[in-house]
Structure 1
């Protein structure tokens, strides 16, 4: 009789997998900062300290951005790809708006968009997660920069090492000497003072400490950008795993009902959606304000919520099954097409409201946003043809950048002023108190108003100085010239 012994095998513990964040951005203990990168970063900081004044919209934004881009893409290998070149060009084009337009709010939007597309140029990103985390990656580098710079300094001979403390000391002494002797020369010769202020108007003879702090921050941003180019995190690895597909009927039934609801709304409300003046005039107790405000905001909410519905549905569809793919095209395609009709209706309502009550920044901005959302739905329709959307995140980002540049190209404040001036010529109605809050971009249009309305509208628009040198701004320079030729006259503010 043979006895078979039963043994229980002890499972061998598997090594723990590294965290997703650690896998996306591995620790760096070997790379070193090239000497050219350190010098270029200090140069970028010097450019920002000398030229940039955050309170003044000027060409200095473009100069500082170009210095940071040169540090990251010229002094660090490998050579930039074609896509990175286009992304950097787009980021600099957005910063160039500060040299052309004078509206601070518009420049702020363009700077934020430049930060976004510039971050993508540094670290890449093909997924929605990668694109969303790219702008944050620059803030995650300070502790790594210390080791990176220290290892770079340690590699050089001691006589040629770049010591940040000594650099700051030399910069502070140099600034103090230039300001001291500059003040003496300016007081000795007014002509030299005008030349000096035209060359370095943002620095002037004031307190140099804020400019030095700004220079240090920009130098740090340039170093961080170069480091991200050298050791880019794999942010796409942090994207959520594919969701478990639902059964076909579980997602098809809600989407089909939504299709029917959208179709019924468009079919029944065609006269309401596009009725315009006739619908407003023919409906009791309906004003233009009610027609536009109520309709626009509800339809805008429908547009955004439909994007969320499509995103969730696509995530839950089994795109590997041919039947599911075909059904997704049949269900989601009409939904996107009907949403385009809703977008057109929302834009129409806002255009009607603006033609009656005038243009404002908010009205123009939300209309531009709604038009961009329409472009996103067109991209969704294109992605649905082959049920693949790997290119979609970058396409949406590119459309946002192009839309922002187009929005800046139409000159929002100038367009608002121009339309209100035309409306005043037709109706005699104008909101001077609102126009006084516009930027120098509106001066050429407001200059066409008759007196005393012209002077009252231009009274609150400050042109200021800085029309040359590093503080140059095309809109401010043109406005200053107009007001020099035709100064603002007396105005009775109580009348307006």
Structure 2
């Protein structure tokens, strides 16, 4: 693409982001802005582009800023991969940050191209026009309230700082995307460590882990899956001891075992049919037993939350554990043919899908619903925690009796949205009635 078209594409992408994106909150404008940038770029990797748009699209669903921040970061990584790609774990890691990392290098590349090509007759007037507007628009907006109100339809609160920042950031990253398309980086590299680990060197340690895991699952099957009955039958065992004493250890086991499987699959010799049979059998058995441990960790966390209430951290950690379970299923699928070239992309894609699924669940509303259900059974509820949840939880909180509902919502004011910052959760929260004079709360 000519330098003039690169410049024009970057300017249009920056303007689209400045107009569409509400930088201060989750909103509906994020996904159309990402879609506009992809359409301007043209040929991108469709799967990663869809993942990026879906991740940014969560801004139209949830009001929880922590969740949307995670989705937006993941969306930026997916967008970078849509431009440069990546196959191996190394390639995906570097590819996820390649576009923003190339932003500063792309500016001299574009300037050099414009100088070498002589520049289009329209480049100079377009740049001068943009510069003049940046200077004079805020001055005129400050001089006349009616004109400022007119600008407010496009620029909330009349502030130009956020749109200018968005214009620059998105314009630069679009230029970087074009730069990387013109000179694709080598992300994946070539394997530096050959398969030199003979069967006798890995069968014993991996086999020992298989035996250890099998013994653990066999001996502890009642403890792992006993749930409420086991806790009640075991003298001196509380829910906290049942869940917390083992959950983090089991989570560490599942993470470390993935590393063992990855190293063994990468380095083990598979020159003979016997080698491949041993590799499939031992790594398959290790993966299956690890899946059982994943299930046991989830069972412990569920029992703990049922007893002590649901929180954001507990739900987020449980989601990570579910993602690890999917990763083990993918490892098993790759082991059938001993072909894991697609595995890293599938695991990362599953992580992006887990974030979108978490947003679809609307975790803070789910947490409020579960804690209210627990209150209906036990009479125990943490009103302070409910008060700290985002607008996502308001419809669930509205099901409480009037006194408790008003106690939680008495100081909450839902932000007004414009056309680009509209959000489903905040829209529903505005529909919840509030008492003009809430009762005094007993904590």
TM-score by length of 1: 0.84
CA distance in 2, matches of 1:121, 1:185: 41
Q: Which residue is 1:311 aligned to?
A: 262
Q: Which residue is 1:420 aligned to?
A: 371
CA distance in 2, matches of 1:347, 1:88: 32
1:69 pairs, out of 38, 44, 47, with 38
Q: Which residue is 1:161 aligned to?
A: 123
CA distance in 2, matches of 1:88, 1:95: 11
| Partner SS state of residue 394, structure 2 | helix
Q: Which residue is 2:289 aligned to?
A: 338
Q: Which string of whole-angstrom CA distances, capped at 9 and with x for unpartnered residues, describes residues 102-155 of structure 1?
A: 110111111111112211111011111100101221213422432234313542
How far did 1:391 drift? 1.1
* 1:367 and 2:318 aligned: yes
Alignment of 1:107-118 (within 5 A): 107-118=68-79
CA distance in 2, matches of 1:205, 1:170: 18
How far did 1:167 drift? 4.9
How far did 1:157 drift? 5.0
**Structure 2: segments with no counterpart, 5+ residues:** none
How far did 1:231 drift? 2.5
CA contact (8 A) 2:28 2:421 kept: yes
How far did 1:70 drift? 2.6
* 1:204 and 2:173 aligned: no
CA distance in 1, matches of 2:328, 2:161: 49
Q: Which residue is 1:473 aligned to?
A: 423
2:340 pairs, out of 389, 410, 435, with 389
Alignment of 1:376-455 (within 5 A): 376-455=327-406
How far did 1:406 drift? 1.1
Aligned pair in 2 of structure 1 residues 446, 336: CA closer, same or farther (>3 Å)? same
CA contact (8 A) 1:440 1:462 kept: no
Q: Which residue is 1:248 aligned to?
A: 199
Aligned pair in 2 of structure 1 residues 282, 48: CA closer, same or farther (>3 Å)? same
CA contact (8 A) 2:365 2:395 kept: yes
* 1:492 and 2:443 aligned: no
Q: Which string of whole-angstrom CA distances, capped at 9 and with x for unpartnered residues, describes residues 293-344 of structure 1?
A: 1111111111101101111111221123322111111211111101111011
Q: Which residue is 2:17 aligned to?
A: 48
1:145 pairs, out of 66, 88, 107, with 107
Q: Please tell me the root mean square deviation across aligned C-alpha atoms, in Å.
A: 2.2
Q: Which residue is 1:281 aligned to?
A: 232
CA contact (8 A) 2:224 2:296 kept: yes
Select the structure of larger CA radius of gyration: 1
* 1:89 and 2:50 aligned: yes
CA contact (8 A) 2:13 2:174 kept: yes
CA distance in 1, matches of 2:377, 2:121: 75
2:91 pairs, out of 130, 140, 165, with 130
TM-score by length of 2: 0.93
CA distance in 2, matches of 1:227, 1:451: 59
Aligned pair in 2 of structure 1 residues 223, 487: CA closer, same or farther (>3 Å)? farther
CA contact (8 A) 2:61 2:359 kept: no
Alignment of 1:166-245 (within 5 A): 166-176=128-138, 179-180=141-142, 183-185=145-147, 193=149, 197=152, 199-200=153-154, 202-206=155-159, 208-237=160-189, 239-245=190-196
CA contact (8 A) 1:280 1:288 kept: yes
Alignment size in residue pairs: 442
CA distance in 1, matches of 2:436, 2:339: 59
Aligned pair in 2 of structure 1 residues 374, 218: CA closer, same or farther (>3 Å)? same
CA contact (8 A) 2:140 2:147 kept: no
CA contact (8 A) 1:438 1:461 kept: no
CA contact (8 A) 2:105 2:176 kept: no
**Structure 1: segments with no counterpart, 5+ residues:** 1-30, 74-78, 187-192
Aligned pair in 2 of structure 1 residues 159, 277: CA closer, same or farther (>3 Å)? closer
1:271 pairs, out of 214, 222, 234, with 222
CA distance in 2, matches of 1:380, 1:215: 42
CA contact (8 A) 1:300 1:370 kept: yes
CA distance in 1, matches of 2:195, 2:204: 18
| Partner SS state of residue 159, structure 1 | coil
| Partner SS state of residue 179, structure 1 | helix
CA distance in 1, matches of 2:356, 2:27: 17
Deviates more, 1:269-278 or 1:41-50: 41-50
CA distance in 1, matches of 2:294, 2:140: 58
CA contact (8 A) 1:32 1:149 kept: no
CA distance in 2, matches of 1:115, 1:443: 29
CA contact (8 A) 2:87 2:344 kept: yes
| Partner SS state of residue 255, structure 2 | helix
Aligned pair in 2 of structure 1 residues 163, 328: CA closer, same or farther (>3 Å)? farther
How far did 1:284 drift? 2.2
Q: Which residue is 1:25 aligned to?
A: none
Q: Which residue is 1:6 aligned to?
A: none
